Amino acid sequence: MSGQSITRIQTTVLTPGSASAELLVLDEALSFWGGFDPVNGTILDRHHSQAGRSVSGRIIVMPSSRGSAGTPAGVAESIRLNTGPVAIILRHRDINIAIGAMVANELYGTSVPVLTAGEIEYQQLIDGLHAEIATDGTVQITG
Amino acid sequence: MHLELTDKDQALLDGDDGPLGRFAMNIVVRAAGIAGAPWLADVSFAHIDACHYYGTAHLDFVRRFAEASARFPVPVWTNTIPVSLRRPENRADAGARFNEEAREVARLYGEIGCRPVWTCAPYQIPGGPGFGDQIIGSESNAVAYYNSVVGARTNKYGDFLDVCAAYVGRVPFSGLHTDEGRRATVEFDLTGLPEEVRRTEMFCHVLGHLVGAHAGSRVPLITGLPDDTPKDSLKGISAAVAASGGVAMFHAVGVTPEAPDRQAALQGRDADEIIVVSPDMVRASWQSLSPASDGPLDMVALGTPHFSVSEFERLARLVDGRAVHPDVTFYVSTSRFVEQIAKEKGFLRPIAEAGIDVLVDTCTYFSPAVRNCRGRVMTNSAKWAYYAPGMLSVEVVFGSMEDCVLSATTGEVRRETATAPGKFWDV
């Protein structure tokens, strides 16, 4: 297709899986417990600049999660309900997000990959572009 | 970093103990990989948050353990839950399924051998961990209190990892489990503030809010806190630093056990940053916690984190013979354990007679009366003041316990004991 470019970046896999969806780049960290409604997949945190937006079916790109102990449960519950993101790409390593996805995989058999990207690679993840994630952590971005 | 596992760790990972052991160890090993831990350490205690129901995933998770008749190798105590088990009507607003599943999650954690204390302040109950013990903590204020005030060692473990780590009795040896991870790197100097202010509980809450906001996830060192700062004030600091920031441990020179002096907390090195706390910084921190204007009061919320026996004693003395104004709802959250002791000591009677409602197992964030409350709420807790405006449709006034009681009895916000004009907090 004319006018489209493809960029390929390598990320580090925290929780393995594959996905293909539109990127939703969050300007700031999101708390999956308290700041997010797993029933409909929207951002609740009224202090968040993207409050009200839905993360359902998207690949979320964000720096890290915000730290409630309930974070893994929020991630797992949204995966259970199919309201959550199909993948999460983080700038910083985040145990809570990774564990939430791992537990959901164990309980429900759904793989939601969780990846971390280096600073340069992270900049390639632009809101609205389409991305395909392979199990080895390669991300192909089209746009 | 390569993770070195013992034969026993490896056997669990290989499934020698069955699928549950493999699952739990797999989770712990993955966490260790992300944390960059070189090996796993034994723990002697856990305080878990996964009992705090949020959705069906919580129930499906604990069922795995219950179906395998799981037992923990260490004592496991439970955090607050979103319902009060004693008062089934407590969360009628949330619907039948929510209530049934939340209660079932609680029942199952009891069934697999957890001690059902249902409290965010487990450190108020005897028999918990001591200085130097490696433990699993989850609730943010309890993590900060155990690390800072007790000297036990834990990172903040999220839901599921807390239970998996407790099940295998092992944690990634990293962060606050290590000596290096406990070194203070940012110092807050209070010595320029009036000593009579530093001695107040309200100051400690405001200080915690200020320190958390500046320190982020670093380990702060506080210099200038009085040596005899009471445990209730240290609880307030622990809750506030973890709410406004990601602080999981603080040192206070001459107060907390790993800070007999500055050099001990800094481990012989210099702080990366020293913040000299001015009166204006303290007042600005207080104002950010207390955005509501004065006026008629709808509710008072005390007990975040859970009220202690000594706080009940103070409250009983403050309310003695007075009554809460009919337009005001007054809640105190606590644990069953502390409630029982307060009852035996005779503190609950004057509190009940004044019209104050004591709620156990849960927090006022999750109470229907609070949920329905649309108005001005006063609290003595920086943590409550920080979270409530986001979780509930309320306006918050933050003040001392004395001012909370005075305001509750008069029906309008009063700032007379700590915040009267002409005093330190006057702005």
pLDDT tens digits, one per residue of B120-156: 999 999 999 999 999 999 999 999 999 999 999 999 9
Where are the alpha helices (H) located in A21-129, listed in sequence order? Answer: 71-80, 95-108, 119-123
Nearest alpha carbon to residue A41 among A30, A113, B92, A105:
A30
Residue B292: what pLDDT? 85
The pLDDT of residue B367 is above 70: no
What's the Cα-to-Cα distance from B55 to each of A81, A93, B50, B186, rounded to whole Å? 10, 25, 11, 38
For B27-50, what is the mean pLDDT? 97
What's the Cα-to-Cα distance from A40 to each of A3, A57, A80, B155, B319, rounded to whole Å? 35, 11, 12, 31, 45
Cross-chain residue pair B161–A74, CB shorter than 8 Å: no
All residues of chain A having their beta carbon less than 8 Å from the beta carbon of residue B30 are: 14-15, 98-99, 102
Residue B366: what pLDDT? 67
Long-range contacts, B59-62 (Cβ 8 Å, 24+): B59/B101, B59/B104, B59/B105, B59/B108, B60/A80, B60/A107, B60/A108, B61/A76, B61/A103, B61/A107, B61/B160, B61/B163, B62/B105, B62/B108, B62/B109, B62/B112, B62/B163
Residue B20: what pLDDT? 97
Residue B316: what pLDDT? 98
User: Which is more confident, B172 or A1?
Assistant: B172
All residues of chain B having their beta carbon less than 8 Å from the beta carbon of residue A72 are: 158-161
Judge contact between B167 and B46, C-beta under 8 A.
Answer: no
pLDDT grade for A2, boundaries at 50, 70 and 90: low
pLDDT in tens, A75-132: 999 999 999 999 999 999 999 999 999 999 999 999 999 999 999 999 999 999 999 9
Q: Say how many C-beta atoms besides its own lie within 10 A of residue B291's C-beta.
A: 12
For B278-306, what is the mean pLDDT? 94
The pLDDT of residue A55 is above 60: yes
Topology alike, domains B7-177 and B290-419: yes
Q: What percent of chain B has pLDDT over 70?
A: 97
- Look up residue B356 and give its amino acid: I
Cross-chain residue pair A73–B54, CB shorter than 8 Å: yes
The top-level CATH class assigned to B183-287 is alpha beta
pLDDT grade for B351, boundaries at 50, 70 and 90: very high
All residues of chain A having their beta carbon less than 8 Å from the beta carbon of residue B54 are: 33, 38, 70, 73-74, 77
* Residue A65 near chain B (CB below 8 Å): no
Residue A67: what pLDDT? 65
Cross-chain residue pair A81–B55, CB shorter than 8 Å: yes
The pLDDT of residue B220 is above 80: yes
All residues of chain B having their beta carbon less than 8 Å from the beta carbon of residue A107 are: 57, 60-61, 64
B44 Cβ contact list (under 8 Å, min separation 6)? B74, B75, B129, B133, B134, B135
pLDDT grade for A7, boundaries at 50, 70 and 90: very high
Nearest alpha carbon to residue B135 among B111, B170, B90:
B170
Main-chain dihedrals φ then ψ at residue B115, nearest 5 degrees: -85, 115
pLDDT grade for B373, boundaries at 50, 70 and 90: low
- Among B313-317, B353-357, B372-376, the least confident range: B372-376
For B19-33, what is the mean pLDDT? 97
- Among B28-32, B111-115, B389-393, the least confident range: B389-393
- Fold of the B290-419 domain: Aconitase; domain 3 (3.30.499)
Q: Which of B28, B34, B386 to mutate to test the interface with A (most CBs of A within 10 A)?
A: B34
Nearest alpha carbon to residue A122 among A71, A79, A88, A98:
A88
For B166-178, what is the mean pLDDT? 98
Nearest alpha carbon to residue B220 among B189, B255, B178:
B189
Domains of chain A: 6-142 (3.50.30.10)
Domain boundaries in chain B?
7-177, 183-287, 290-419
**pLDDT mean across residues, chain B:** 94
Nearest alpha carbon to residue B188 among B161, B213, B166, B167:
B213
Residue B248: what pLDDT? 96
For B110-128, what is the mean pLDDT? 98
pLDDT in tens, B246-277: 899 999 999 999 999 999 999 999 999 999 99
Residue B357: what pLDDT? 94
Cross-chain residue pair B390–A46, CB shorter than 8 Å: yes
CA pair distance B136, B304, nearest whole angstrom = 21
* Exposed/middle/buried for residue B141 (C-beta within 10 Å: 0-12, 13-18, 19+): buried
pLDDT in tens, B55-97: 999 999 999 999 999 999 999 999 999 999 988 777 888 889 9
- Look up residue B365 and give its amino acid: Y
Consecutive H or E run containing B179: none
Q: Which two tokens stand for residue B214?
A: 């500046």
pTM tops 0.90, yes or no? yes
Residue B75: what pLDDT? 98
CA pair distance B159, B162, nearest whole angstrom = 6
Judge contact between B202 and B399, C-beta under 8 A.
Answer: yes
* Residue B161 near chain A (CB below 8 Å): yes
pLDDT in tens, A18-35: 999 999 999 888 888 878
User: Which residues of A carry out catalysis?
Assistant: 68
Q: Which two tokens stand for residue B190?
A: 């209070």
Of 3.30.360, 3.30.499, 3.40.50, 3.30.160, the CATH number of B7-177 is: 3.30.499
Judge contact between B376 and B340, C-beta under 8 A.
Answer: no
Strand partners of residue B137: B156
